[in-house]
Structures are given as C-alpha cells and as structure tokens.
Structure 1
Amino acid sequence: MQALRESQAAQAGSNITTVLAGSDFDEEYLTSVKFGEQEFMLIVDTGSSDTWAPQVGYACFNLDNKPVSQSQCAFGTAGFDSNASATFRADPGTNFNIEYADGEFLSGTVGFETVTVGNMAVANQEIGVVTKAAWDGDGFNSGLMGFASPNLTFVFNGTNPDDEGPQLPYNPFFYSAVQQGLVSEPLFSVALDRGSFVAENSSDLDQNLGFIAFGGIPPVEVIDIAVTVPIQGYNAATFIPENGTDVTYFYYALDVEFMSFTGNEEVFGTTNNIILDSGTTLDYVPTEVADAFAAAFDPPAVKDDDFGVYTVVCTATVPEFTVNIGGVTFTVDPADNLFPLGIQDDEGNDLCASGTFDGGPSTGAEGNVFILGDTFMHNVVATFNIETDEITLTQRAPYTSGGSRRAPASVRRRGV
C-alpha cells in the first residue's frame, strides 16, 4: 500500500477523490453525481454494477407491486428529466430491469449520458432511466451508482421489462472512465467511516462520512497491515465460485482463510464466496461463525427473527471480530458490532444489534452468498483493480467518531 501511495503521489491529477455522505441513519453512503447538468445524490454500491436514477414522472410501487404515491419511494429529487438534457441520447429497443436482495425492484428505459463525479466526466455512459420503482428511499438518494463487473449489469434487449430478452452487458461507470483514459491507474478505493452516535440517531444527511478515490487511494490513516488477493471468479454456467483462469467475474468476491474473535480457539469460517459490498449494512457470515460470535457476547446476543439481527443489551461486552484473508488478519472494531435498535427489552434495557449476522451454512447449501458489508468495510481501505482483477485491503488506524452505531428499522442489503 505504501508503494501505491508513492506511485499515486507522483502522478498529479491521477487520484480524483470525492467525499461520501451518510444518510438513513448513516447506513447509506452517497456521493454527488451529475447526469448532464442535473445533480443527484447516488448510493455508492460495490455489490452491483448499474447506474440509474428515476425519470421525472416515474410510477412508484410498494414491494408487493402495488401502486403507491411517489412519496413512498422517498427519492431525494423529482428525478432525471432526460428531455431537458442536451447530452442525453436514448437507446431504443432496450430496457433496464433489476431487483435487489432486499426486495426493491426497478425498471425503465436505457440511454447514454455524460456522468460526472467530482471533476471526472465520463462521456456516453450507459445508464438506467427508471420509470417504475419499488424503492425504500431515505429522502436524500435519487438512485444508485454500481461499481462491480460488466457481467452484473441489467440491461436487456427489447422494450418490455416483463418479457426480458437477452442480457446486454455494458461497461459500468468506472470501467468507462478507465477505457476513456480519465485515470492513470485502473483502480478505485473506498473508505467508509463509522457514523457518530449523534448522526446515527438522526435522519439528517451526514455530509462527511468517507471517500471514494478514482485512480488512487483516499486520505485516511492506515497501519502496516495489508494484503493483495485475486478477485474470486465464478463458473458462468453454475454460478459456483471457482479458482483458475477460465472464470467469469461478477462481484468483488474473496477467498477467506478463516474468521474468529477474541477468546475463540476454533478455526472456522473458511469460504471462497464472500463479497465486499458497500451497499450492505451488516456482515453476513456462515451460520456456525455467526452463532458462535453471538454467544461470545457478554451477555450473549440472541437471534431475533423479527428484526433480522442478533439482539443484545447495549451494555454488553463485545469480542473483537477478525477476518483472515490471504494469510493476513484484519480486525473489526467492537463498536461496529454493537449498535442501538431504538427499543428496550422487558426489563427496560436498551437493545442493540450485532453487525454480524447469519448468512446460512457454509457447506451443503449451494447458492449461499456471504457478505463483508459496512461492518467490515469501516475498518479497511478497499482498493479494487479492474485490470489485474485484484483487491488490496489495508487496515485502517483505530478511530473514534462519537460512540456506537445505530441501525434503521431494517438494515440494508442491496446486492443483486
């Protein structure tokens, strides 16, 4: 990582860094994005690939596909007026159609637009223009910017989203930036800050909650613990993770050697299918890891199916969670595994939730996808090289931002 810092410092203008904001009780990470001259706050998502915003006049639906008022979708703006943009060009004969892991879904048309983040303008970027949205918004975000592989884009041939034609993969925003020579290094880095107690008890926009850097690394303090590992590929026919040269890339997935926590003597948690996803609040780990970690809280955390988390009194002592990747152990600050739920138990104690949850068994269940979400990503700088298909993780220096975290009524899981 030091070599990367020195390399980038020597290349003036190569590192285009923009600040991230926090919304939805600091559980979403947004950045300012322009479509032409129209500006929006979009969610930064390393777990998906499409960039989209709603079209002015879009139809809003609930998750049961019933029409509701636009206020229920809670976008931060009225939407993108494609007709008012001099740089927008429609792509006839295609449609955009995507569903996220938390049940949100969107569909609409497709076009090409100048998309700008910071001072980096990507010309003729393919985008989704949403005309139908089932979206649980926060009053600030007006869409999403995805950073994963072109193979994970959701544009299809044909104009009817209910009758999908062949998938038409395209270059997501950062892939286009590299292709157009806008950065000198084919990598981007994400540093997500843990929100303060005050901010995470507020629905206001938190203006400074991390960075995304294009072509370099963000200005945060790190320590000398780092590793560079290959991105995990998949068998395109079976969607099962595989190592080797004849693989297809979708997510930013990693091989994990093992997971552990303070006081644990068991070696477990090995998986070759765990995704780095800035659009997911929690870490979703194998069942045996999640259960053992919850039991190690003092007093123990208990799985609550109603909330979809492990709950525990907020005064609990939390073990330090660790993840070993490429032979290097990364630590998760206990503050990231204890956040208030805004409710009390029968004895009047404030209840919190663990940032680590059960993603299903690690064996005997093909298709389980595990995630290192914001809980883990608060503790590292994640650098994604789309040319070498590698990820560099660097441990961040310990930091304090005012206390433990707070979750909204339902945590986010916006992978596709």
Structure 2
Amino acid sequence: MSAQRGEFGSRFGFIMAAAGSAVGLGNIWGFPTQAASNGGAAFVLVYLVLAFLLAYPVLMAELTLGRHAHGNMIAALAKVSRNGTQRGIGTLVGIVGIFTASLILSFYAIVSGWMLGFGAAYPLAAMGASDTSTWLTTFGESRNLLLMLIFMALTMVVVAGGVEKGIERWSKRLMPAMIVTLVLLSGYVLTLDGASKGLAVYLIPDVSKILSTELVFNAMGAAFFSLSLGVGTMLIYGSYISDEEHLPTLGAQVALVDVGIAVLAGFLILPAMYVAAERGVMIFNDAGGLLSEDTLIFTVLPALFESMNESGTFLALAFFGLMSIAALTSSISMLEVPVSFLVERFNWGRTQAAFVATLIITLMSAAIVLNFDDLFGLVITVSTRFSQPLLGFALCIYAGWVWRRDSLLTELAQNEASGELTLFMKWWPLYARFVCPAIIALILLRSL
C-alpha cells in the first residue's frame, strides 16, 4: 500500500470515521419525523430489521472491495474484473461514483453552511450583534456563499491532514462529542412540557401499519441511505483498513453505531417538536404530516429556541453544534472520494489533491447557490434518488457476480479465528449476488 494513501491506525478510529460518514444530517433531521409519520415504533422496528438485511450486506460489499484493492473505486472494480469489458464498465462506474460524491457534497456544503450560520447567530444575538445574527439566519446569495466556503475550508483542512492524522484524528474527537451532545440534549428536552407526547408518538407502535407496503419501502430507503452507501465513501474507507482486521466484525460495529445514533436522534427531535407545539409553534403541514428536514431545522426549532430566552441560546448553540459535527464527519468522507483518486492516479500529495478537489466542488456549489431555484432540487434528485442507488446496485453486481468467489472468500476469511468458513461467509456472497441488487432495484423503481 502506498504510504501516501495512509491507513487507519486503530479499530476505534475506523469505526468513528466510518460511522461519522454514515451519520449525516438526514439521520438527525429526517429519520425521526419519517418514523413518526410511518407508525412510530413500528417503522423503527422494520428499519432495524432492514438495516441488517439490506444495509449491512451492501456495506460489506463496499468495505470488502476496498480492502481487497487498497485503492479507489476505479482501482477496486478493475482489480476484481476478469476481462477488458468488465474493467471498462468498472472504470465508468468509478468515474460516476467520484462525480456523484462530489455532486452530493456540492449541495451538502450549502446546507451545512447554514448550520454553521445558525450556530453562530444565537450567541452573537445574545452579545448584541443583532444585525450580524439576522444576516447569518436570512437566506441570501452572499450569506450562502460565505458559509459554504467556510464549511468547505474546514472539510479540506481535515482531509489534507491525511487518513490517520486528519480523518481518523478528527473523527475520534468529533464523533464522541456528537454522541455526548445528542444524549445531553435529549435528556434536557425530555424534561420540558410536551416532550412526553413526542416520545409517545415515537415509541408507541401503530401496529396497523407494520405490514404496510409504504412503511416497508420507506424503511428500506432509510436503511440504505442512512449508511452512506452507493457513492464509494465506504469503499474508500475500506481501502484504508489494515489487513489484520476482521471485516465482518468491523462492518457490524459501524452499522450498529450508525443505526443507534439514528434511533437516538428520535429521542431529541420528536420530543423537541412537541415541546415547540406546546409553546404555540406550528409543527404540522397542511396535509397533517409533521414538518421535517429543512423546515424543521430552520423554522420549527429556531421558534422553540426563541421562546426559551437565555436557555434557548445555549440549547440552540448545542443543537447547531451537533448538526455541524454531523455534517462535517460526512463531508470529509465525500471529499475523500475524489482526493483518493487524485492521489493514486496522478501521484499528487494529499494537500494538492485536497485543494484541487475542494476548488472544483466549491465552484460546483457556488453555481448552485447562484442558480438556487433551478439547480438545488435538481442536483439532490439526480445524485441521491437516481445515481446513488444505481451505484449501489453496480457495486453489488461486482461483489456478487464479477469477483471470483474463491478470491472474495479469501478476503473475507482473513483473520478468522476458526480458519473455517463461517455462516456469514457462506450466505453473504449469495445474498449480495441476488437479494441486495433486487432490493436496490426496488428502491430505484419506486423513486421513478
């Protein structure tokens, strides 16, 4: 392995980095309201089952391909290919993966910049800088550009530091800080009037919906997207795993941390929404569903914080700090996808590769900011609803059909204590070959 590529220095470091990649804004602002709108605990139960029937096997496909090649997506798919046609298709898939990760980061950086702005606005307002505070929380091109640039600069600094001294070091700091903040915020919000109603909505299952086709499809999509699958981030992180590590165990630990944080977020978001409702804030849309995503984060919760006077300032700072950490741990994995390619393909240093990749993505992001109404929704649709599932499908095909079974099993069996094929090794290759592509195809068809 090239020394320039680097390697995770510890199991804990990899788990924190990989879980950080998976735990993004969607886990915190989307999963809880999606659960509440789809039967509460019934949805959570189905989600947990599908996370390990779908997301974990696909995660293992990415990690195994990456560790086997110790290279970027293009190199990994080329290494398992058996002929020129497969290598050519693999190269195309790899290029699309690099572009998709860059495209996702280009809109993600804009939203993440808003988190930084809202986080800074509350203490500034408390110190009397009301004009600056208002500017930071008001939609506008100059504000969007500046906050996006700051967020991209933060992401670049971490990635330029390398795998162990950049990504791993900061993931080991940021992820525990995020988990502690999430637990403390949840504990505090649960003491407020109205919180018990939100908790009941989250924890009491609507049994009538548990076999609903709508619920199953929504849980399926949530399980797939919550683990940051289909864009090569986990494949890249897998390529930095030591050959001494046991992959199935590592993959399971990453999945458990990610799923656990998504479920834990429900103990914060839904009680907070009903606390806001108790204080007169509208939390339902015209159709009767709970407000979610950007409306929840930038309208409902700020209204709650403003109703709480001094304590609201501290709560807002902690909450938007939490969201900013979640955004950053995801963005560094997305930037690493093009950076790893530039380092390996052109033999560039990490600083140069990180700067060039950041510059290109920043220009893409700036184009979205300047043409927001036309491009923002389009970019999200193309990258997440279509490209990401297609890439996940392709990676499963390469892991299940193209890669020689004996070579795949040899990679999986590294560091297996028994020295024999485990139950996982017996069923996973067939599962990745038949079941995972079929489920991903259903997700894609439903999005159409």
Choose between structure 1 and 2: higher strand proportion. 1
TM range (shorter): under 0.3
- Which TM-score applies when normalising by structure 1? 0.26
Higher relative contact order (CA 8 A, sep 6+): 2
Choose between structure 1 and 2: higher helix proportion. 2
